[in-house]
C-alpha cells in the first residue's frame, strides 16, 4: 500500500494530511474519545505541534493546552506525586478539593497569568481560609505548573512568587513551655497515680526534640548507650486503614544522631527495663525491637501518645484551674527543646542538625523563641551589663 505524500512528495504520518490550500493538518483522538485537529502552515510547523500534543496526551492531559484546565492539571499531579504518609495525603486531597471548587480551576492553563494567581490567593485569604491552608493550595498549584513548564505546556510558572509577598502570615507562634511550666508539668506527671508511666517518654521528647513518629519508630538497635547517641533514620506511622508502616524521614536532613543528656539516658534505660518482651517481636517493614510498646505488645503510635497527653491535659487543668498552661502536645515538647537549646546558646547549624531540618531559617523562625530574660542573660555573656538589668527586666515583665 502506497504511503500518503504531500505536494513535495514527502511521506506523511498517520493522521497527517495536506489541505487543498497547501496547509497541513493532523487529526488525533483525546483520551475521552473526542476527535481533534491541529493545523500548520508547513509540515515542520505541524510536526512541532504534534510533539506537544503527544507530550500532553502521555501526561493524561488534553491534547491542546488551551483545553487543559488548572483543575485537570492539579488532579493529575496529585496522582503522579501521591505522598506515602496518610496525613500528608489528606492535606493534599483537601487542597485539591478546595482548588476544584474555585472558578479558576476551569481556566485553561495557558491563560493563567501571575496576576490571576496572586488575585486567587488574595480571594482565598479574604474568604477566611487560614495561611496554612493557602500555603498547601499554593504549593499544589506551583508544583502542577512546574510539571507543565517542564513539558512545555506553558511558558512560565504563574505561581512562582513568595506567598508572604501577597498575603500576611497571620499564624500564631508555636508555643514553647517556660522553665517554670516545664517543671510544674513534669512534676505533675511524675507524681500522678496514672500518668506517671508516661514520665520517661516525656523526658525523652522534651530532651531530644524528636518528632513523635520518630520516637515511636526507635528500636533497640537505634540506641547506643556506650556512645550516648540515638540514631534517627525512620519513622513509624499508622495508616488510615489501621496498618503500621515504617517510612524514611521527610528529607535527607532527617537522618541524624542525637546526643543523650543524663536525664534522657536514664529514661531510656528505664523504658527498656520496664518493656515487657512480647511473645513474638513485631516486624514492620524490616524493623523490629521497637522500644515503645502498648498494653498488647504492639509498637506504640503517635496517636497513642497524643491521646494520653490529651487526657493528661484535662486532668492537669482540673487540678490546677487557675494556672496558665498551654495545651501540651508532642510538638510542644519539640518546640520547647529547640527553644531551650537556642536560649542556651547552641549554634544555629548545630540546632538545625539535631532538629533534622533542611533549612536553618526554618529552625529559627518556626521553633526557637527567646524571652527577655534569656536575651539579657546571653547579651551579658558578650558585653558588660548594668548590675541591676536583671532586676529591671523581672519588674517590667
Q: Return the pLDDT at 393.
A: 40
- 140 — pLDDT class (breaks 50, 70, 90): very high
Dump pLDDT digits (tens) for 317-368.
Answer: 999 999 999 999 999 999 999 888 888 888 888 888 888 877 766 666 655 5
Cβ atoms < 10 Å from Cβ of 96: 21
Upper half-sphere CA count for residue 88 (Cβ side, 13 Å): 11
Catalytic residue among 357, 392, 394, 395: 357
Spell out the CATH class of 179-378.
Answer: mainly alpha
114-126 and 131-150 helices, crossing angle to 10°: 160
Q: Return the pLDDT at 105.
A: 95
**CATH 3.30.160.60 domain extents, the chain:** 1-58
Sheet containing strand 256-259, edge to edge, reads 223-224, 229-232, 256-259
**Among the ranges given (137-141, 225-229, 347-351), the one the predictor scored with the smallest mean pLDDT:** 347-351
153 pLDDT exceeds 80? no
CA distance 72 to 141: 11
376 pLDDT exceeds 60? no
Q: Return the pLDDT at 396.
A: 44
Catalytic residue among 250, 269, 275, 282: 250
Q: Return the pLDDT at 154.
A: 78
174 pLDDT exceeds 90? no
Question: Is 211 a catalytic site residue?
Answer: yes
Upper half-sphere CA count for residue 212 (Cβ side, 13 Å): 21
308 pLDDT exceeds 70? yes
Dump pLDDT digits (tens) for 196-223.
Answer: 999 999 999 999 999 999 999 999 999 9
Question: Is 317 a catalytic site residue?
Answer: no
Average pLDDT over residues 137-148: 94
375 pLDDT exceeds 60? no
Question: Is 334 a catalytic site residue?
Answer: yes
Q: Return the pLDDT at 64.
A: 55
3-state secondary structure of 26: strand
**CATH 1.10.443.10 domain extents, the chain:** 179-378
Catalytic residue among 199, 269, 331, 353: 331
Average pLDDT over residues 117-122: 97
CATH number belonging to the domain at 1-58, selected among 3.30.450.20, 3.50.50.60, 3.30.160.60, 3.40.47.10? 3.30.160.60
The model's pTM is 0.66
Catalytic residue among 238, 335, 367, 369: 367
Q: Return the pLDDT at 389.
A: 45
CA distance 172 to 66: 41
178 pLDDT exceeds 80? yes
Chain-centroid distance of CA 36 in Å reads 41
Give DSSP secondary structure letters for 306-372. HHHHHHHHHHHHHH-TTS--PPP-HHHHHHHHHHHHHHTT--HHHHHHHHT-S-HHHHHHHT----H
| C-alpha dihedral, 9 to 13 to 15 to 16, nearest 10° | -40
155 pLDDT exceeds 80? no
Question: Is 276 a catalytic site residue?
Answer: no
Dump pLDDT digits (tens) for 383-397.
Answer: 555 555 444 444 444
Could you tell me where the DSSP H helices lie in 29-130? 43-58, 70-80, 86-101, 114-126
**Among the ranges given (11-15, 62-66, 186-190, 263-267), the one the predictor scored with the smallest mean pLDDT:** 62-66
101 pLDDT exceeds 70? yes
**CATH 1.10.150.130 domain extents, the chain:** 67-165
Kindly report the average pLDDT of the chain as a whole number: 86
Question: Is 85 a catalytic site residue?
Answer: no
Put residue 277 in one of left, alpha, beta given phi > 0 → left and psi -120 to 50 → alpha: beta
The per-residue b/e assignment along 271-285, b for 16 or more CB within 10 angstroms, e otherwise, is beeeeeeeeeeeebe
Q: Which fold has domain 67-165?
A: DNA polymerase; domain 1 (1.10.150)
Catalytic residue among 300, 334, 335, 369: 334
Question: Is 250 a catalytic site residue?
Answer: yes
Catalytic residue among 56, 138, 143, 211: 211
Percent of residues, the chain, with pLDDT higher than 90:
57
Amino acid at each position: 500500500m502506497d504511503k500518503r505524500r504531500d505536494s513535495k512528495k514527502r511521506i506523511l504520518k498517520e493522521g497527517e494530511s495536506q489541505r487543498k490550500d497547501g496547509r497541513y493538518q493532523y487529526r488525533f483522538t483525546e483520551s475521552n474519545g473526542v476527535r481533534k485537529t491541529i493545523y500548520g502552515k508547513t509540515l515542520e510547523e505541524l510536526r512541532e505541534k504534534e510533539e506537544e500534543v503527544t507530550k500532553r496526551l502521555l501526561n493524561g492531559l488534553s491534547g491542546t493546552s488551551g483545553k487543559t484546565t488548572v483543575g485537570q492539571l492539579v488532579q493529575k499531579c496529585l496522582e503522579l506525586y501521591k505522598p506515602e504518609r496518610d496525613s500528608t495525603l489528606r492535606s493534599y486531597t483537601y487542597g485539591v478539593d478546595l482548588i476544584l471548587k474555585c472558578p479558576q480551576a476551569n481556566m485553561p492553563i495557558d491563560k493563567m497569568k501571575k496576576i490571576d494567581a496572586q488575585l486567587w490567593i488574595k480571594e482565598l485569604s479574604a474568604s477566611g481560609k487560614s495561611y496554612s491552608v493557602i500555603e498547601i493550595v499554593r504549593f499544589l498549584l506551583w508544583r502542577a505548573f512546574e510539571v507543565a513548564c517542564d513539558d512545555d505546556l506553558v511558558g512560565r510558572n504563574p505561581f512562582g512568587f513568595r506567598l508572604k509577598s501577597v498575603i500576611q502570615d497571620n499564624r500564631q507562634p508555636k508555643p514553647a513551655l517556660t522553665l517554670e511550666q516545664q517543671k510544674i508539668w513534669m512534676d505533675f506527671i511524675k507524681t500522678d497515680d496514672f500518668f506517671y508511666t508516661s514520665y520517661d517518654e516525656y523526658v525523652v521528647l522534651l530532651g531530644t526534640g524528636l518528632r513523635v513518629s520518630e520516637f515511636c519508630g526507635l528500636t533497640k538497635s537505634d540506641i547506643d548507650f556506650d556512645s550516648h547517641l540515638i540514631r534517627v533514620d525512620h519513622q513509624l506511622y499508622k495508616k488510615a486503614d489501621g496498618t503500621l508502616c515504617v517510612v524514611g524521614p521527610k528529607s535527607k536532613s532527617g537522618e541524624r544522631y542525637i546526643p543523650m543528656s543524663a536525664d534522657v539516658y536514664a529514661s531510656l534505660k528505664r523504658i527498656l527495663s520496664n518493656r515487657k518482651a512480647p511473645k513474638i517481636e513485631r516486624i514492620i517493614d524490616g524493623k523490629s525491637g521497637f522500644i515503645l510498646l502498648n498494653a498488647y505488645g504492639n509498637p506504640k503510635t503517635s496517636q497513642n501518645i497524643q491521646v494520653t497527653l490529651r487526657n493528661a491535659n484535662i486532668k492537669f487543668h482540673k487540678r490546677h484551674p487557675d494556672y496558665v498552661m498551654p495545651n501540651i502536645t508532642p510538638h510542644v515538647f519539640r518546640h520547647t527543646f529547640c527553644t531551650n537549646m537556642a536560649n542556651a546558646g547552641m549554634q544555629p547549624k548545630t540546632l538545625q542538625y539535631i532538629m533534622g531540618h533542611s533549612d536553618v531559617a526554618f529552625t529559627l523562625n518556626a521553633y526557637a523563641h527567646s524571652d527577655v530574660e534569656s536575651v539579657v542573660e546571653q547579651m551579658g555573656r558578650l558585653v558588660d551589663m548594668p548590675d541591676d538589668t536583671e532586676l529591671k527586666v523581672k519588674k517590667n515583665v
